[in-house]
Amino acid sequence: MNAPTGMSQDLSRASATAVVSALDRPFSVTFFGNAAAKSKREERFTLRSLASRVRTVTAPAKARLPWLKLARFGELKSDKNSLRHDANVLAISGIEGDYDGEKAPVATAVEKLTKAGVLAMVYTSPSHTEATPRWRVLCPTSGELPPQDRAKLLGRLNGLLEGVLSVESWTLSQGYYFGSIGSKPSHQVELVDGTPIDLLDDLDEIWRGKPQTGAAAPSGDVPCHSGPVDPMALLADITAGRSYHTSAVRLLGKWARDGVPYMEARARLIAAMNTVPEPDRDARWQTRRDDIDRCLDDIYGKEAKARDEGRRPTPSGAAEPTGQPGGDGEPWPDPVDFLADDSLTGPPELRPDHLPEALQGFVAGTAARMGVDPVSVALAALAACASVADDTWRIQPKARDHTWTEDPRLWGAIVGDPSILKTPVIRACTAPIDALDAQARHRHAAEMRAFKVAHANWKREGGDAASEPRSPRLDRYLVENATVEALSEVLRDDAEAKQRAPAGKVLVRQDEMAEFFANLDRYRTGGRGGGDRGAYLRLYNGGPWVVDRIGRGSFAIPNWSACFLGGIQPGPIQRMAREADDDGLLQRFLYCVPGSQAEGEDRIPDAAALGRYEALFAALVALRPAGSGSGRVLEAVVLHADAHRHREALLRLTRALAAMPDTSPRLRASLGKWPGLFARLALVFHLIDCADAKARGAGQPAAMVVSEHVARRAAALMQDVLLPHLIRADALMFSTAQTGHARWIAGLILAREQPRVTLRDVVQAYGALRAPEARRELYNVMEGLVTVGWLRPEPQVNPARPPSAWQVNPTVHTVFAERARRKRELRRQAQQETRETIKRQRQEGG
């Protein structure tokens, strides 16, 4: 089984490290969905992969965040039906320490752990702020240990942290929330590589046990954070300003358990806070005063009575039955345009929410002025932006598997006759790269003049070889009509190199790709394949490459990598597709197959949108991962926990499309690259957002996590726009007519415009699947239409029998039909204008 695209080069990088870091040693983690812990899920994580999980999980409220515990639990339930209790702990795989003191910053804990060489992860708790720090420490052990060893190891950690851990840390089965509330920017996750704490016996010298319990300390400087709840002492801590948050939480917990009404508890706590003298009401007081309602909702929510059996909370906080909702109440998914037929569904439409905000104005304005399909502009702009993004950026597509990464590398092809303005679109979108190249050549010319003077002086003075001035290199961002040999000179990075690629790659721009494909087979043997095709296949994946040429010797290229952007006419690409080996080269491209060319609008370009687009490129060139250039292996960008659902939904869709009877083998091969392509596209979207924020002085988003909305945009662009264009390209290159079963039945559904379709309707209208022996194939086709969101089976009296009728997604008859109607109307107008023009010319000629 082949590794996903990008995995092989990442494995080769990883193999250079002989010793596996302790951060990559797996251990057991138990997850609970909520505090009730009526169910559990045990998984194996490394500390590195667990950090990615903690960093990306978010929820609108603390009570909605999941819990974790470095331990394994049995199936014994408590009298409250909970699996999380001390008697049910089978073994520990680490310890957890909780800090709620609101004084010591995360950096202090990280520094102490680092100096002591303790393997650990420190992450901020949901209620953490920079002004009131609260955090947790997770320390995996070298292996599973008996539960009774936990207290001893926790004492080591508490001693190292100078006794700041809360008393709850000593509860054997205590679990902890993880993640942030609403993707809060102050959320931190820090890793410390080191030795498992159970192997650091010297820490016993500073061992500190469980804090003393009791009432408020008489000295007044140690608030009553632990032990039996003493309401009077806790209220005294609040009014004296010794403790706000911890005391309030413990009070609310007791009042909720004792049945004190919500509003009465709120009034009591507000009254206590208001007894603090006004001169003492600092920022810490104000923060906690503003936080009362959130704490009330959180704590009283936990203590609320259990919901009706068989019901669970929905994301909106309402309730719905468990299991899959059925019937007419289930929301319809967006149907997938798998037909890619203008006459039936109209051309795919690019919406603003398909693109990063920085590209939206430029794409819309350029397309309107040129009268071209906006998708062609968007594809060219994305490939151009990807080409200047530093190739040391990597993204980890999966949540836990860090061995597979992808780089910001895109290949785009615009397919159509000369009337669709392929070359002007490409030139407009790559103009900022032309500017970078021009600036580099101007800078290099000045550097060469200075070098020649310096070299002449060195030679005249008889300098030694060690002090000989080095010839400056020419920065390259773009190549055109370049052979593999010429491209290797651009990408090499050794003492003989005359050029360099600052981004670690360049953009290969081909106004007419027919010439490019012809050059690939220039040295082919046996009439097919060979030549430079293998080099370009490797170019898509990046990674080291050694060049061996007669007369040029041997030299290593650290990163054989490039983005690609070009245009091609239908005839040449059809001929090339028929004649070339099926080596996967065509499947590496993102395609745009535009419709007819419009006249375009004669208007002044939007200077703000154009300036914003142009400013992206310098910002992307300057954007580097933290620690780049240090020689160490860089951390990969990860997807936010909520972003994975978009990746997984797209994965399910591509698998379903690949399994449909109509799908060609080459289209299946293209869809097989989409998991990696989604990761690449999401990373490019993310880097564009980061660079745009930097260019506009609006700050820079967290560069190591791709947000949910960015992933949603990337997935929507792929499903709504790039997928239909891929199918159009596949039909153009490899098909003579769309005669597949699913396409024929989909056309029937659109033509009938009915809210439902029955098995009898299909059998009577479609002779190809009328025979009884074809019934299984017919059911498979209908199931495929369900998968892509066109149909939903109606309930059967006998659930064991296959469905005989299906509801039709109303969107199919609204969105697709309207798109097709507009397309037909534009075609009719064009034909009418042509007739009128001919008539006018005849009249003038007569």
| pLDDT at 244 > cutoff 90 | no
- Residue 353 belongs to a domain: no
Residue whose token pair is 């009577």: 764
Domain end marker among 734, 760, 784: 734
For residue 790, give both structure tokens. Answer: 């066109």
Cβ-Cβ contacts under 8 Å for 23 (sequence gap 6 or more): 46, 47, 48, 119, 191, 193
Mean pLDDT of 785-807: 82
Q: Judge whether residue 343 has pLDDT over 80.
A: no
Contacts of 656 (CB under 8 A, 6+ apart): 784, 787, 788
- H helical segments located in 660-774: 665-672, 674-695, 708-717, 723-734, 741-752, 759-765
How far apart are alpha carbons 636 and 406 in whole angstroms? 9
- Residue 151 three-state SS: helix
Instruction: Check if the beta carbon of residue 173 is closer than 8 Å to that of residue 86.
Output: yes
Close Cβ partners of 462 (under 8 Å, ≥ 6 residues apart): none
What are the residues whose beta carbons fall under 8 Å from the beta carbon of 58, sequence distance 6 or more? 65, 179, 180, 181, 182, 183, 184, 640, 641, 642
Range of lowest pLDDT (35-39, 321-325, 540-544, 780-784)? 321-325
Q: Enumerate the H helices of 461-483 as residue ranges.
A: none
Task: Choose from 344-348, 452-456, 630-634 the range with maximum mean pLDDT.
Answer: 452-456
Q: With the C-alpha atoms ordered 742, 747, 750, 756, is the resulting torsion angle positive or negative?
A: negative
- Do residues 599 and 592 lie in contact, with contact meaning Cβ atoms separated by under 8 Å? no
- Cα 593 off chain centre by: 27
Same domain, 529 and 572: yes
Confidence band of 334 (pLDDT split at 50, 70, 90): confident
- For residue 548, is pLDDT > 50? yes
Based on the domain organization, do 256 and 157 belong to the same domain?
no
pLDDT of residue 682: 97
Residue 313 has pLDDT above 50, yes or no: no
pLDDT at 550: 57
Percentage of residues of the chain with pLDDT beyond 70: 82
Please report the pLDDT score of residue 223 as a whole number: 39
In this model, does residue 536 exceed pLDDT 50?
yes
DSSP one-letter string for 248-298: HHHHHHHHHHHT--HHHHHHHHHHHHHTS-GGG--HHHHHHHHTHHHHHHH
- Of 15-19, 35-39, 81-85, minimum mean pLDDT range: 15-19
At residue 523, φ and ψ (nearest 5 deg) are -105, 20
445 pLDDT band, cuts 50/70/90, is: very high
Q: In this structure, is residue 322 part of a structural domain?
A: no
Give the pLDDT score at 522.
Answer: 55
> What is the number of domains present in the chain?
4
State mean pLDDT over 806-822. 78
Residues 714 and 756 in one domain: no
Q: Mean pLDDT throughout 383-397?
A: 95
Give the residue among 517, 567, 568, 574 at the shortest CA–CA distance from 731. Answer: 574
Q: Do residues 671 and 543 share a domain?
A: yes
Max mean pLDDT range (294-308, 427-441, 499-513): 427-441
Judge whether 448 lies within some domain: yes
Query: What is the mean pLDDT of the segment spanning 163-187?
Result: 87
pLDDT band at 380; cut points 50, 70, 90: very high
Range with lowest mean pLDDT among 520-524, 685-689, 782-786: 520-524
- Assess whether 433 and 548 both reside in one domain: yes
708 and 589 in a common domain? yes
* Lowest mean pLDDT, pick from 222-236, 648-662, 686-700: 222-236
The domain boundary, picked from 282, 303, 324, lies at 303
d(CA 512, CA 576): 13
Give the alpha-carbon dihedral of 727, 732, 737, 740, to 10 degrees. Answer: -20
Average pLDDT for 683-703: 84
C-alpha angle 807-808-812 in degrees, rounded to nearest 5: 165
Q: Does residue 806 contact residue 757 with C-beta atoms inside 8 Å?
A: yes
Residues 199 and 275 in one domain: no
Better-predicted residue by pLDDT, 463 or 518: 463
Can you name the residues that pair with 67 across neighbouring β-strands?
32, 177
Structural domain for 798, as ranges = 741-808
Domain assignment present for residue 479? The answer is: yes
pLDDT of residue 728: 83
Q: Say if residue 160 is in the same domain as residue 284.
A: no
Asked if residue 561 has pLDDT above 90, the reply is yes
Give the end of a domain, one of 303, 319, 344.
Answer: 303
Kindly report the backbone phi and psi dihedral angles of residue 459, in degrees, each rounded to the nearest multiple of 5, phi listed first: -70, -40
The pLDDT score that the predictor gives to residue 156 is: 92
Mean pLDDT, the chain, rounded, equals: 81
Q: Which two tokens stand for residue 332?
A: 């319809």
Give the separation between CA 383 and CA 728, rounded to whole angstroms. 20
How confident is the model over 215-241, as pLDDT tens digits?
333 333 333 444 455 677 778 778 777
Residue 311: the pLDDT is 29
Asked if residue 252 belongs to a domain, the reply is: yes
Mean pLDDT to the nearest integer, 523-543? 68
Do 506 and 389 share a structural domain?
yes
Residue 312 pLDDT exceeds 60 = no
Tokens 């194996």 belong to 44
Asked if residue 9 is part of any domain, the answer here is: no
Tally of CB atoms within 10 A around 825: 10
Whether residue 357 is predicted with pLDDT greater than 90 in this model: the reply is yes
Least confident of 291-300, 311-320, 502-511: 311-320
For residue 659, give the H/E element and its range.
helix 644-659
Which pLDDT does position 450 carry in this prediction?
Answer: 94
**Residues 416 and 446 grouped into a single domain:** yes
Look-up: residue for tokens 């240090």? 630
572 and 686 co-located in one domain: yes
Inside any domain, residue 845: no
| pLDDT band at 464; cut points 50, 70, 90 | confident
pLDDT of residue 279: 80
More confident residue, 801 or 200: 200
Write down the pLDDT at residue 736: 41
Query: Could you say which DSSP state residue 524 is in?
Result: -
Q: Residue 9: its pLDDT value, please? A: 41
**Confidence at residue 296, expressed as pLDDT on a 0 to 100 scale:** 75
| Cβ neighbours for 419, distance < 8 A, ≥ 6 positions apart | 596, 597
Q: Is residue 830 part of a domain?
A: no
pTM assigned to the model: 0.61
Residue 744's pLDDT is: 81
State percent of the chain over pLDDT 90.
34
- Phi then psi dihedrals of residue 661, to 5 deg: -60, -30
Residues 688 and 681: their CA atoms lie apart, in Å, by 11
Residues 273 and 141 in one domain: no
CATH number, domain of 367, equals 3.40.50
Quickly state the pLDDT bin for 578 (edges 50, 70, 90): low
